[in-house]
Chain A
Amino acid sequence: MTISTTAAQRRIEDLLGSHEAQTLKRWQEISETPADELRELFLALRAAVGEGDFSDVRGLLADFSRSRARLGLPPAQTSRAVFGLKEAVYELVEADGDPEALRGYIWFSKLVDDLGLFTFETYSAAREKIIRDQAEQLLELSTPVVKLWEGIVAVPLIGTLDSARTQVVMEKLLQMLVETGSEHAVIDITGVPAVDTEVAQHLLKTVAAARLMGAECSISGISPQIAHTIVTLGIEFGDIVTKATLADALSHALQRSGVELRRESSARIAVKAERA
């Protein structure tokens, strides 16, 4: 059986070799894929059928499906590009009429099925990676840490907070405290429509972690609804400084760091820093 399979394989290899241009052209027509993309694959496949080592073909297919996933081409078209080869080779075998070639075709058909599945797998893995990367980028984009004053940083949070995002904010804010040597941080949640228990816990943990590092953290922009939710959920904010607006929180932080704010008669705000 092994011997005849090998003979059948060799028959396919011969057919592929002798009808290269023809097969390639048919494959291209059936799969509606540019010839230059297929030629390299075809040559690698022909060599692999002879040598029995398909690692090169898999490598090329992986590149092929990855680049298609990146271009956003539909998955059906991508796998059709591979399966199209079956049809092209079948026409070849049929024209040849040799039973040995037919036996070889069954083997070849199974091989292309495997390669097609592999292509699809690589394709969806590539798509998943793109989605993951984008989610990560979004997370980064949506959490800026800004410096309000020498020694005071703030994170204005906007939109719905989930656990993952709150955690990213927490880490970024604390890192910023170290990098800038800031002893005061403000988490402003004016733009946050609602908080749940988990998010509230994360905020509390951020404040606790900042304290452990030797910095103070206050929370501003708590809407009446959120204040209500927090009380209803029974979450203890304890001695954490909460302010209605970011301005109040800034003024509190300035005061704590020894900066004195004074409004002059001309209604201009003059700031006098008194470093202790």
Chain B
Amino acid sequence: MTQPRELPIAGNGDVVLVRQHVRKVAVEVGLSLVDQTKVVTAASELARNALVHAGGGRVRIEIVHNGVRQGLRLAFSDEGPGIPDVQQALTEGWSTGNGLGLGLSGSRRLMDEFELVSEPGEGTVITVTKWAR
């Protein structure tokens, strides 16, 4: 079984590497093709988020268990400016960057669990999980 792994997110190329590694682990966890695609897409959004809003960060990728179910957990962390108003950031279409404002709200819909911890000036940690059906 793949050990938990931490990947840096420092440039555009890293976003691609994160996608590829997340895909590999999603297959190992036994996610359906559609769920694999959802997880990889969410990972891509969140990795780009860390890059655009915090100038970079890292992601921890691990396999988690809940009884007989297996899941994939991704924790994106950065030391960026943080998110002053989490509620607002999760609102569809709300964006500070030049995106469509779908990054956070969209990723939340693509995953089973979504947790956002942020302190202004301290950075942000976003933890998302998808369980195999």
B33 partner residues in chain A, CB cutoff 8 A: 171
Interface size bracket, B side: under 10
The answer to whether A125 and B34 have CB atoms under 8 Å apart is: no
Within 8 A of B (CB), among A102-142: 125, 128
The answer to whether B68 and A164 have CB atoms under 8 Å apart is: no
The answer to whether B68 and A125 have CB atoms under 8 Å apart is: yes
Within 8 A of B (CB), among A166-220: 167, 171
Interface 1/0s, chain B 22-35, versus A by CB < 8 A? 00000000001110
Interface of A is mostly: helix
The answer to whether B68 and A128 have CB atoms under 8 Å apart is: yes
Interface 1/0s, chain B 53-94, versus A by CB < 8 A? 000000000000000100000000000000000000000000
Closest partner residue, chain B, to A171 (CB atom): B34
A128 partner residues in chain B, CB cutoff 8 A: 68
B34 partner residues in chain A, CB cutoff 8 A: 167, 171
Q: A125–B69 Cα gap in the complex (Å)?
A: 12
Give min CB distance, B62 to chain A, whole Å. Answer: 23
Q: A128–B68 Cα gap in the complex (Å)?
A: 9
Give min CB distance, B41 to chain A, whole Å. Answer: 14
Q: A125–B67 Cα gap in the complex (Å)?
A: 11
Q: A230–B63 Cα gap in the complex (Å)?
A: 39
Give min CB distance, B112 to chain A, whole Å. Answer: 13
Q: A164–B32 Cα gap in the complex (Å)?
A: 12
Q: A167–B35 Cα gap in the complex (Å)?
A: 11
Q: A53–B34 Cα gap in the complex (Å)?
A: 44
Give min CB distance, B66 to chain A, whole Å. Answer: 14
Give min CB distance, A163 to chain B, whole Å. Answer: 11
Closest partner residue, chain B, to A129 (CB atom): B68
Within 8 A of A (CB), among B114-133: 133
B68 partner residues in chain A, CB cutoff 8 A: 125, 128
Give min CB distance, B60 to chain A, whole Å. Answer: 29
Q: A30–B96 Cα gap in the complex (Å)?
A: 74
Give min CB distance, A185 to chain B, whole Å. Answer: 17
Closest partner residue, chain B, to A175 (CB atom): B33
Give min CB distance, A133 to chain B, whole Å. Answer: 13
Closest partner residue, chain B, to A132 (CB atom): B68
Give min CB distance, A241 to chain B, whole Å. Answer: 25
B133 partner residues in chain A, CB cutoff 8 A: 164
Q: A162–B80 Cα gap in the complex (Å)?
A: 42
A-B pairs with lowest CB-CB distance, top 7:
A171-B34, A128-B68, A164-B133, A125-B68, A171-B32, A167-B34, A171-B33
Binding site for B on A (CB under 8 A): 125, 128, 164, 167, 171
Could you jot down 7 A-B contacts, CB within 8 Å? A125-B68, A128-B68, A164-B133, A167-B34, A171-B32, A171-B33, A171-B34
